[in-house]
């Protein structure tokens, strides 16, 4: 599979502070790359570097196999869609008029406007001034500005802020449809890690400007396998039989930890006739919990 974006030895300093130091990052076509990290970890800085909004101190950025530079940045930005931090638009203009301006700047047919407004659920508000939009509607307009013109790559910084649960689900479906029906890719950041997990094929975890994980979400999940819990007629007795601390009894369950199928089978066989087994469940730690552990340095 071809790479849409590749970053090599990218560094950015503010004064003497290194705010970004990425040795390698690759985003494949038709993928959704979820970028997560604490505030100040460098997420927005990376996105701004790709778009040429800030200047890198060293390293290389490649888009579609070509290295980005001052001369070609504007050309590449025509095939990128971006929403960085808060959406920017003219509040005294309507949603439709705001998209008209983007079409002129990117030399895109105005025929795209109706389709794009429909995609983000703003058809009925097309002729309403942006200053009269709710927070969620403004966020949708920002996404529409990023989407217009069939960009080959979307760069979205906190795109679902201000959206209600239905709006979040609609955006999730929209992003999945984009990568499913085209070779475009999405680089997306969000503090709503549950949503990142639902839509991402790959993730990058930034800590103090460095990528501490960079790869497929499925591979990350293999590094952190699910744990097993068991519910019996007497969880305290079960803990004693298995030589497990009673502290592992939580919410009517005994947490066994990460066990293989073979180990689970032996446990069930050993407990047979000693306690009644009601339920054995496989439970995954949330991405949010794993993220907190990673970024705090907890093993």
C-alpha pair distances (Å), 204 with each of 27, 64, 94, 118: 10, 20, 37, 31
Min mean pLDDT across 39-43, 181-185, 264-268 is at 181-185
Confidence band for 191, pLDDT divided at 50, 70 and 90:
confident
**Per-residue pLDDT tens digits for 196-235:** 999 999 999 999 999 999 999 999 988 888 899 999 999 9
Average pLDDT for residues 254-279, to the nearest whole number?
94
Confidence band for 298, pLDDT divided at 50, 70 and 90:
very low
Given a cut of 50, whether residue 299 has pLDDT beyond it is no
Average pLDDT for residues 163-172, to the nearest whole number?
86
What is the C-alpha separation between 91 and 296, in angstroms, rounded?
40
Q: What DSSP assignment string belongs to 81-121?
A: EEE-SS----TTSBHHHHHHHHHHHHT--THHHHHHHHHTT
What is the C-alpha separation between 292 and 197, in angstroms, rounded?
15
How high does pLDDT run on average in the chain? 90
Confidence band for 297, pLDDT divided at 50, 70 and 90:
low
Q: Hey, what domains does the chain have and what are their CATH numbers?
A: 3-222 (3.40.50.300), 227-283 (no CATH)
Average pLDDT for residues 278-294, to the nearest whole number?
87
Average pLDDT for residues 142-155, to the nearest whole number?
90
What's the confidence (pLDDT) of residue 1?
A: 60
Entry pTM: 0.84
3-state secondary structure of 212: strand
């Amino acid at each position: 599979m071809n790479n849409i974006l590749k970053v090599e030895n990218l560094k950015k300093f503010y004064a003497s502070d290194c705010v970004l130091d990425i040795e390698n990052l690759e985003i494949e076509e038709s993928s959704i790359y979820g970028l997560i990290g604490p505030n100040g970890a460098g997420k927005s800085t990376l996105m701004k570097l790709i778009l040429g909004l800030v200047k890198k101190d060293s390293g290389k950025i490649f888009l579609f196999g070509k290295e980005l530079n001052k001369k070609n940045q504007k050309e590449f930005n025509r095939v990128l869609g971006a929403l960085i931090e808060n959406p920017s638009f003219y509040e005294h203009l309507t949603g439709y008029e705001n998209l008209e301006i983007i079409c002129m700047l990117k030399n895109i047919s105005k025929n795209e406007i109706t389709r794009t407004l429909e995609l983000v659920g703003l058809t009925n508000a097309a002729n309403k001034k942006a200053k009269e939009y709710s927070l969620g509607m403004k966020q949708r307009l920002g996404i529409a500005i990023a989407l217009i013109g069939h960009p080959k790559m979307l760069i979205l910084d906190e795109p679902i802020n201000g959206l209600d649960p239905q709006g979040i689900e609609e955006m999730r479906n929209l992003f999945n449809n984009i990568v499913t029906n085209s070779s475009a890719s999405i680089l997306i950041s969000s503090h709503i890690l549950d949503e990142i997990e639902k839509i991402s094929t790959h993730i990058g975890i930034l800590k103090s400007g460095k990528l501490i994980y960079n790869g497929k979400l499925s591979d990350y999940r293999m590094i952190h396998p699910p744990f097993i819990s068991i519910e019996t007629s007497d969880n305290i007795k079960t803990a004693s039989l298995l030589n497990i601390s009673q502290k592992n009894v939580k919410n009517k369950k005994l947490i066994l930890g990460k066990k293989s199928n073979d180990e689970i089978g032996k446990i069930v066989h050993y407990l047979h006739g000693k306690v009644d087994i009601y339920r054995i469940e496989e439970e995954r730690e949330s991405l949010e919990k794993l993220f907190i552990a990673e970024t705090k340095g907890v093993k």
